[in-house]
């Protein structure tokens, strides 16, 4: 186990380097550049841009240099100074933009993940142990609804329902009077008052999917011989279920950490736009649309790196949770 951890740790460094290259290349693949988008915006507003101005802007943003030179300049700033370049659209360092958005993104997504686990795990255990019961059919029905219904549509329906019933518009994470104010107990209480809808919307599909996966895995384990043997020895039913089959059925839950970590940063882009959430998702979408390569590339690189790190963590946890999993030959 220790040799596996050391080996995977050594592989992480070159793998993250490769991820950074792929992320930068992907952002550069669409034709044109930020200058082209900027010029089109000016021309749509009735402004004419001279050729000399286009050349000056291209040199100013370093877009006249080859792609590999731009990449090494980007990586040099990150390795030596901890900078991820400067956003063209925002005219600010990328690091400052991410520092503003990531904490609230992580808070909302982490709370959504806790909501998913707290709801889906007990429901999955009950559905598997009461197969084909009334509640199992009810949970299955709502699970399929949660998987089929687009999250942004679910958000719109909930916003309309709450406003129609209470007259309270649930949009954003803070009321108008708390936006830009320092943290206080009143501001935290206002956050909790507004955060419940994003938690339900973002967690809906994840909850439904996790219920189906864990229920199926638990049903497979309940039919195995070691469960029958434990029952024959007189072990109580709930102690047996929680100690053995549930532990094995947790494997799919742990394996989802690989995509849960990037979800903590990326979240639901369209849902964030619909609910007016100041998270990383809308920034990424706008950066891609305007071809703001340093901002978009940095976010894509962070999400990809978190996927690699999350997979590494899930592999270690799986080996610790399930003794049958071995990484030695």
Instruction: Measure the CA–CA gap between 88 and 290, rounded to whole angstroms.
Output: 9
How far apart, in Å, are the Cα atoms of 195 and each of 118, 202, 241?
Answer: 17, 11, 35
- Residue 328 has a pLDDT of 55
Instruction: Measure the CA–CA gap between 294 and 20, rounded to whole angstroms.
Output: 12
Instruction: Measure the CA–CA gap between 237 and 227, rounded to whole angstroms.
Output: 10
Mean pLDDT of 267-279: 77
Helix (H) or strand (E) holding 87: strand 86-87
- Residue 264 has a pLDDT of 59
The tokens 């039919």 sit on which residue?
223
Mean pLDDT of 95-104: 85
Task: Please count the helices (runs of H) and the strands (runs of E) in the chain.
Answer: 16, 2
Task: Name the DSSP letter for residue 173.
Answer: S
- Residue 197 has a pLDDT of 81
- Residue 142 has a pLDDT of 85
- Residue 263 has a pLDDT of 67
Q: Is the model more confident about 131 or about 1?
A: 131
Instruction: Measure the CA–CA gap between 257 and 307, rounded to whole angstroms.
Output: 8
User: Alpha helices, DSSP H only, in the chain?
Assistant: 2-28, 34-44, 51-60, 67-81, 94-129, 134-148, 151-166, 185-222, 225-232, 237-243, 245-249, 251-255, 257-266, 269-274, 280-289, 293-321
**pLDDT tens-digit readout, 224-269:** 888 888 888 888 888 888 888 888 888 877 877 777 767 656 656 7
Q: Is the model more confident about 238 or about 46?
A: 238
Domains parsed from the chain with CATH numbers = 2-93 (no CATH), 96-321 (1.10.3720.10)
- Residue 217 has a pLDDT of 87
**pLDDT tens-digit readout, 174-214:** 777 777 777 788 888 888 877 888 888 877 777 888 888 88
Mean pLDDT in the chain? 81
**pLDDT tens-digit readout, 279-310:** 888 888 888 888 888 888 888 888 888 888 88
Q: Is 229 exposed, middle or buried (0-12, 13-18, 19+ CB in 10 A)?
A: exposed
Q: Is the model more confident about 151 or about 141?
A: 141
- Residue 102 has a pLDDT of 82
- Residue 68 has a pLDDT of 83
Mean pLDDT of 98-120: 83
In sign, the C-alpha dihedral spanning 200, 206, 208, 211 is negative
User: Alpha helices, DSSP H only, in 149-184?
Assistant: 151-166
């Amino acid at each position: 186990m220790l040799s596996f951890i050391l080996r995977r740790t050594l592989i992480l460094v070159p793998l993250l380097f490769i991820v950074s290259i792929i992320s930068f290349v992907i952002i550069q693949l669409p034709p044109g550049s930020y200058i082209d988008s900027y010029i089109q915006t000016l021309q749509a507003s009735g402004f004419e841009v001279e050729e000399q101005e286009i050349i000056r802007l291209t040199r100013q943003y370093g877009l006249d240099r080859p792609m590999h030179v731009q990449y090494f300049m980007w990586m040099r700033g990150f390795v030596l100074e901890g900078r991820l370049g400067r956003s063209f659209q925002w005219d600010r360092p990328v690091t400052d933009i991410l520092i503003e958005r990531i904490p609230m993104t992580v808070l909302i997504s982490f709370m959504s993940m806790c909501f998913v686990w707290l709801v889906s795990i007990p429901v999955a255990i009950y559905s598997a142990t009461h197969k084909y019961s009334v509640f199992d059919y009810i949970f299955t029905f709502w699970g399929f609804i949660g998987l089929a219904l687009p999250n942004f549509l679910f958000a719109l329906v909930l916003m309309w329902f709450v406003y129609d019933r209470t007259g309270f518009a649930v949009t954003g994470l803070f009321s108008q009077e708390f936006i830009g104010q320092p943290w206080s107990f009143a501001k935290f209480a206002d956050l909790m008052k507004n955060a419940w809808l994003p938690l339900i919307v973002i967690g809906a599909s994840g909850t439904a999917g996790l219920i189906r996966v864990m229920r199926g895995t638990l049903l497979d384990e309940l039919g195995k011989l070691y469960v029958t043997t434990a029952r024959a020895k007189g072990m109580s039913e709930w102690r047996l279920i929680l100690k053995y089959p549930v532990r094995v059925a947790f494997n799919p839950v742990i394996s989802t950490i690989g995509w849960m970590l990037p979800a903590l940063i990326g979240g639901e882009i369209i849902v964030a736009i619909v609910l007016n959430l100041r998270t990383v998702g809308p920034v990424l979408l706008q950066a891609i649309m305007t071809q703001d390569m340093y901002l978009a590339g940095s976010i894509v690189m962070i999400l990809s790196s978190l996927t690699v790190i999350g997979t590494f963590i899930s592999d270690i946890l799986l080996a610790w949770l399930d003794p049958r999993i071995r990484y030695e030959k």
